[in-house]
Amino acid sequence: MNKVLNNAYEAIKGIEDNMTVMFGGFGLCGIPENTIMELSKTNIKGLICISNNCGVDDFGLGFLLRNKQIKKMISSYVGENAEFERQLLNGELEVELLPQGSLAEKIRAGGAGIPAFYVPAGYGTEVGIGKESREFNGKMHLLEHALTADYAVVKAWKGDTHGNLIYKHTANNFNNMMAMAGKITIAEVEELVPAGELDPNCIHTPGIFVQRIFQGVNYEKRIEKLTLSK
């Protein structure tokens, strides 16, 4: 199976209206910039996006939000995006907010083939409305169902032609678990090398989870919020 594609344009073929897509990254760290930008050039609408957040107004998933390509966001944080707030308050965007640990575990469980699990986070809050609860060791827990997606889009530092991936530092974040939870996983990498060149002990995502891979270009790697000393 040849997994290597030339660019993001080829990689997104098959993504259609109303599909569920996971996007790796944490804030703007480790996001698949090339793939998001390519999707923003299409007429694809009604996406259900699963991501830590929705980028900022003029970068990351903010591009898709601005184009009204997203109908629902499943996230754990949405505080840096004014357009997100506007669409939510105007009823233009459906939002499911989850505790960050619950979101991560729902994705990890989906990739591991675990359909559901119990977790204490969110019990007694709005997060728990309509969810089954059960007591374990004297503490109440919520039943959370795993998350999977039609496509998972991730960004790695290095990858090889078999789809093995290495993430760099914080950019590991949600990328690793999302790569396992997509029916089809698209990986964009900063450096693409021949199979066998990566140290097996350093590989985070085995290539068996990746169906498409390409070398990205022109990464901006923008900082979400810059804090400087006086």
Please give the tally of structural domains in the chain.
1
Evaluate whether residue 222 is within a structural domain: no
Cα–Cα dist 144/142, whole Å: 6
Cα–Cα dist 121/136, whole Å: 13
Residue 51: domain span: 8-215
| CATH number where 101 lies | 3.40.1080.10
Specify the higher pLDDT residue, 222 or 38.
38
Given a contact cutoff of 8 angstroms between Cβ atoms, the answer to whether 23 and 153 are in contact is yes
pLDDT in tens, 100-112: 999 999 999 999 9
Over 90: is that where the pLDDT of 223 sits?
Answer: no
Measured between its terminal Cα atoms, the distance across the chain in Å is: 54
DSSP 122: T
Evaluate whether residue 192 is within a structural domain: yes
Confidence (pLDDT) at 157: 98
pLDDT in tens, 67-94: 999 999 999 988 778 899 999 999 999 9
Q: Is 169 helix (H, G, I), strand (E, B) or coil?
A: helix
Given a contact cutoff of 8 angstroms between Cβ atoms, the answer to whether 210 and 32 are in contact is no
Evaluate whether residue 96 is within a structural domain: yes
Cα–Cα dist 158/200, whole Å: 12
